[in-house]
Amino acid sequence: MKTAIIQEQTTASILGVTQLDNEQLAKLKAKEPVALTNHTIQEIVGFDEFDDYLLVKVRLEKKTETTSKAAFLDYLSKVIQQRKSAGTDSSYTARLFEKGINKIAQKVGEEAVELVIEAKDDNKDLFLGEAADLLFHFLVLLEAKEIKLHEVIEVLQERHGK
């Protein structure tokens, strides 16, 4: 594990600090996508490696608030992918993966039913909570099936004629 300090190239502001395992470090050095912060990173400009930490310089994408919020799903998908192999003691997501595809699919079904039940009532907060639970478990199911969110979006775009 190596500590990575994430710095925005233009403003030199620190976006976050994270721990990278050897696989993530290798991807970073190859400038492959790695979930580093909850910001949408356009480009990894470079990095400086020191004995006990890494300074990663990035350029952020300029997006509207709506697309930035939607980009959070990509970030969350990357976090889910990372937690797939995390220790089950500390990660609910890792425990789901350990239980297998049937349990993950069951959780998606349970959350869908709970969302439908909340849809019939007038409590927006409970409905939003169940919608978030369903979306999270759906992303876990996609990862378990080794399907990327963008593949689902492409199907929706094709159906919409885009």
Long-range contacts for 40-49 (Cβ within 8 Å, ≥24 apart)? 40/68, 40/71, 40/74, 40/75, 45/9, 47/4
Q: How many Cβ atoms sit within 10 Å of the Cβ of residue 161?
A: 5
pTM for the full predicted model: 0.60
Q: What are the b/e assignments for 107-125, b being 16+ CB within 10 Å?
A: bbeebeebbeebeeeeeee
> Which of 48-52, 114-118, 121-125 is the least confident region?
48-52
Tell me the mean pLDDT in the region 98-125: 96
Q: What is the pLDDT of residues 52-102, one digit of tens each?
A: 888 888 877 665 555 567 778 888 888 898 888 877 787 899 999 999 999
**What pLDDT is recorded for position 120?**
95
Q: How does pLDDT run across 122-148, given as a tens digit for each residue? A: 999 999 999 999 999 999 999 999 999
- Domain 65-160 of CATH type 3.20.20.60: no
Per the CB < 8 A criterion, the answer to whether 137 and 107 are in contact is: yes
Average pLDDT over residues 18-22: 82
For residue 42, the number of C-alpha atoms closer than 13 Å in the C-beta half-sphere is 9
> Between the CA of residue 56 and those of 28, 31, 130, 136, what are the distances in Å?
9, 11, 36, 28
Given a contact cutoff of 8 angstroms between Cβ atoms, the answer to whether 147 and 101 are in contact is no
Give me the pLDDT at residue 138, please: 97
Q: Which pLDDT band holds residue 12 (cuts at 50, 70, 90)? A: confident
CA 154 to chain CA mean position, Å = 18
Higher pLDDT, 45 or 94: 94
pLDDT of residue 154 exceeding 60, the answer is yes
pLDDT over threshold 70, residue 162: no
Q: Where are the domains of the chain?
A: 2-60, 65-160
Q: Is pLDDT of 35 > 70?
A: no
